[in-house]
Structures are given as C-alpha cells and as structure tokens.
Structure 1
Amino acid sequence: MIELRDIRKSFGANHVLRGVNLTVPAGESMVIIGGSGTGKSVLLKCILGLVPPDGGQILIDGLYVEKSDREAFLARFGMLFQGGALFDSLPVWQNVAFRLLRGHSRRPRAEAREIAIEKLRRVGLKPEVADLYPAELSGGMQKRVGLARAIAAEPEIIFFDEPTTGLDPIMAGVINELIREIVSEMGATAITITHDMSSVRAIADRVAMLHEGIIQWTGPIEELDTTPDPYVQQFIHGRAEGPIPAVR
C-alpha cells in the first residue's frame, strides 16, 4: 500500500532523511521506532505531502503521490495527532466530523453528527460527550476523540503520531488496544511512530528502526527481541551504551 524509495529531506545543513526505503503491505500495521529528532514525524509529513521531500519517490497503492489528485489522495488517510490537535472552539462531534462537514467527504450535517456519535461510541465515549468542548475532557478522552476523528471517514490508511504520549499506563493500554482493534476491523493500513515499547508490542505487525536518516532494520514484531541488530537492541532495552549516542 505504501512504498518509499530513497526519500531524502534536509533543513539547511540538517540532513534529516538520508535515503529512506520502506514498504508497508496493505492491511498491515507498521510501527516506526527511533530516538527523538530522528525524522519520524518528518517522514509522515513527507508521505502526506505536508513537507515536500528533496528526493526520492512515494507510491500509494502503486501510484506516485505527486501525480495524484490532492483532495482525493488525502481522503484516503486518517491521522491521530500527537497532541490531539482538537479545535477548542468546536464541540466534540464537530471535531470528529470535521472532514465530513466539508470538502471531498462532505455529508449533510445531521448525517455527519450521527456518524460522529457512532465513532465516539466505537472508542468508548457516550453520546452525551458529543456536545461537550475539548477543554471539558480529560487527556484520555481527548485522545479517544482524536481517534474517533481519524476513523470518521473510513480511511484506507491511518497514521498514529505518538498515540500514548501524556497518558498514564492504564489509559495508554486502552488506547493501544483500541487502535489494534480498529485497524483490524477496518482492514486499514497503519503507520505508527512511537517511543513507547508497550505500544510497539501491542500495535505492530512489523517494526522499522529509523536512525541517522535511514531505516537501520525492519522485520516482523516476532523478531524484534531476537534480532542481533545493535541499534534495535540498544533502543528497545534503553541502554546508554551502544551505537546510538546517549546525547544528541
């Protein structure tokens, strides 16, 4: 579903992506791990076209991204943002139905509200939450609302940017379980970026390790603990000693 060929991106003298090659099969959940500042979020933004890569090719379902109709292309995606990114001035249901109220996926207002309430139920929130505002919700509830919005338009591809950041371990486990269930139910292709190893083990079919601008290792989740790759072993065990500098 997603193929990245030699993706490169620099910001001035900072070479963030130095030739990323990665394939994500349809219907699989890929988790990209790596330290802070290694370019994981930049990579997602390159795929979405929010940041233009300096070189390389991105294919979605066999089609080159730069040759696709922009609005139709983006309609295939859903995204759960790291900070929730909810609109404070809109009630919860309008946040969830944001895409359904405008543009390519536009629906009648009553239908959009009905879909939003159904998606809120799917993530474990009651219908009465629909008319609250984000500021009235806990961090865990806001994250669920963000997840409901990510799936509202039934996307083929979903990105999760640090989905458990700021959550306590119990709520993080709830969000991980919801993500796994929803991706499986929808048959969606997913890419998650995270530092949280519990999320990796809960969500991933395959794992890719991004370091120094390239994919250092990729493989099925079952091989994560047994791979001899020194970058992976240092990262997943949180060791100070290894090929990844402790100070960056």
Structure 2
Amino acid sequence: MADSGDIALPDTSTPGVPRIELRDVKKRFGHKRVLNGVSFKVMPGESLVIIGGSGTGKSVTLKCILGIIRCDSGQILLDGQPDDSSDRRTFLKQFGMLFQGGALFDSLSVWQNVAFRLRHARRPMPRKEARERAIEKLRRVGLGPETADLYPAELSGGMQKRVGLARAIATDPRIIFFDEPTAGLDPIMAGVINDLIRELVTEMGATAVTITHDMTTVRTVADHVAMLHDGKVQWFGRIEDMDSATDPYLDQFIHGRATGPIAAIR
C-alpha cells in the first residue's frame, strides 16, 4: 500500500485563502537583481499564467515557490502558511510539474518515467499497480498502452511532451506547474498540448501556475495573467481583461511589437 507521499493528499486548501501567495519577494544573484518585490495570489482551482520577456524572473519565481532557491526577502505563503513551516512538505506532496524540455529519463521506459515518483517514494507503489496507473495516465493524454514499453528516444517531440504531462498528473496532484509547456512544438501540437492542459486542470480542479512566452498558451489555459517586468509584477488581471488593459508594457508584449517601453530601456 502506497503512503501519502505516493498519491495526492486530501485538499488542504481553506475557502478564501490563497493556495499560493507571494508578498514582496526579492532575489539577487550577485549584483544582478532578478526579483524586486514580486507579489501575487493564486486561489485554489485557479490557473495563473506568468508572462514576460527573457530574464524577467519567471523561472526564478517558480523556483522560489518550489523552494529550489530561497528568496532574499519577502514572504511566500502556501495555503496561508509560511513556506519555511513544516507544512511545506505537505504542500510538496501535492504538486506535479511538466518541465520545459520534458526531462524524461532516457534509460527508463515510458511507463517507468510516468510512474517514477510512485516507484521511488518512501513506500514504493508495487510495480504492477504503478504500471497500471501509468498506462491509465498515458491514456488520459491520448497515448495508447502500446506506448508504455517504448523509450523516450523512440517518441516524437509531441509524444514526449504528452508523456511528461502524464507524469505530472500521475499522483493526481492538487497543484501543477508548467514550465514553457509548448516549447519546441509545432503550432498544431502546441494547440493539442494547450487544450490538454486546460482540460486536465479543469477536470482535476487543480491549481495551476504556468510560465510561458506563448500567447496562444496564455489565452488557452489562463484564468489570471501576471506580467513580470524589471523584477516586479507590471500587470495582473483576468484573462478576459488582458486585451483591453491600457498598460503599455503589457500591450507591447502581448502584441509582439518591436517598439515601446520595453525596447526603449534595453
């Protein structure tokens, strides 16, 4: 029998309390200031997409939430609790992640990749059960059982991304992070992955945080959008308000204009 680290725990969210909240988070690397007071909230069941140019701190923000790096100042609250509390371990048991490059293990078969977390928990899920779970999650992202015993090198880029998505949902997580989910995919496959993400997040009732440059991804998966610029949240709002927003930085970015306030400061 798998322990609570192998499958999603009961939802720990409290009505009205943000699932994730950042308060004036700052981070430097040497003399380079990356985050200069980032603040936002993600409520349970919401999908937040973080956008911004290269080097604006999107990945650093995600790593701070996950605890991979520590912020220099400010506060990160997870289910209303400081991220340095004992509740962080409970929080981390509830998340899944789709990595930008897929991050599949070349030496493991597809099903072993999907079931990796299940098989390497403190109390590993039995091999047969883990394989069955992996095949079920592969089916959920549109891949048949014949895929299970293939290796990543035998898959197309789109299939690898689907396998990564199956792994991200293998434990039925309450929180899912997506790092540039359509990077390297052609427009048609990118659309397929975006639709899958939106469908899965809605179906699971999961809280989602996505970082991306792809405006098609933004428009497909976002409930709310946060634009980072110069280490701060330049604009935050609902996806339906994005196109009518008057912020010049946001307007330039979402329309891909070469001229504007972002280009002017480079």
User: What is the TM-score normalised by the length of structure 2?
Assistant: 0.91
Structure 2 counterpart of 1:192: 210
CA contact (8 A) 1:76 1:157 kept: yes
Contact 2:78 / 2:88 at 8 angstroms: preserved in 1?
Answer: no
1:56: which partner in 2?
74
Deviations 1:42-92 (A, max 9, x none): 110000001111111111111111113554332111100000000111101
Counterparts of 1:34-113 in structure 2, within 5 Å, are 34-69=52-87, 71-103=89-121, 106-113=124-131
Counterpart check, 1:125 vs 2:152:
no
Aligned to 1:160: 178
* Cα separation, 2, equivalents of 1:80 and 1:237: 26
Q: Give matches, 1:146-225, under 5 Å.
A: 146-225=164-243
Q: Alpha-carbon deviation of 1:37? A: 1.0
Q: Secondary structure at the match of 1:200?
A: helix
Gaps of 5+ in 1: none
Give the AA of the match of 2:44: A
Other structure's SS at 2:191 match:
helix
Shift of 1:106: 3.3
Letter in 1 for 2:224: R
Note closer, same or farther for the CA distance 1:112–1:12 as it changes in structure 2 (3 Å cut): same
User: Does the 8 Å contact 1:240/1:246 carry over to 2?
Assistant: no
Structure 1's 104 and 219: CA in aligned 2 closer, same or farther, altered over 3 A? farther
Assess, with a 3 A threshold, how the Cα gap between structure 1 residues 104 and 222 changes in structure 2: closer, same or farther: farther
Partner of 1:115: 133
Residue in structure 1 matching 2:254, options 232, 236, 244: 236
Return the match for 1:33 from 51, 61, 82: 51
Structure 1: distance between partners of 2:123 and 2:227? 34
In the alignment, the residues of structure 2 paired with residue 92 and residue 214 of structure 1 have an alpha-carbon distance, to the nearest angstrom, of: 39
Counterpart CA distance in 1 for 2:95 and 2:73 is 22
State how many pairs are aligned: 248
Q: Distance in 1 between matches of 2:253 and 2:114?
A: 35
Give secondary structure in 2 for the equivalent of 1:159.
Answer: strand
Q: Shift in Å at residue 103 of structure 1?
A: 2.0
CA contact (8 A) 2:157 2:185 kept: yes
Cα RMSD of the aligned pairs, angstroms, is 1.3
Shift of 1:241: 1.4
Maintained 8 Å contact 2:24/2:73: yes
Partners of 1:52 and 1:104 lie apart in 2 by 25
Secondary structure, aligned partner of 2:71:
coil
Q: Choose 105-114 or 195-204, whichever is displaced more.
A: 105-114
One-letter amino acid matched to 1:227 = A
Task: Please give the TM-score of this superposition, normalised by the length of structure 1.
Answer: 0.97
User: Who is 2:33 aligned against?
Assistant: 15
Amino acid in the other structure paired with 1:128: E
Looking at structure 1, the residues matched to 25 and 231 of structure 2 have their Cα atoms a distance apart, in angstroms, of 9
Percent identity, please: 72
**What stretches of structure 2 of length at least 5 have no aligned partner?**
1-18
Q: Please tell me the residue identity of whatever aligns with 1:83.
A: G
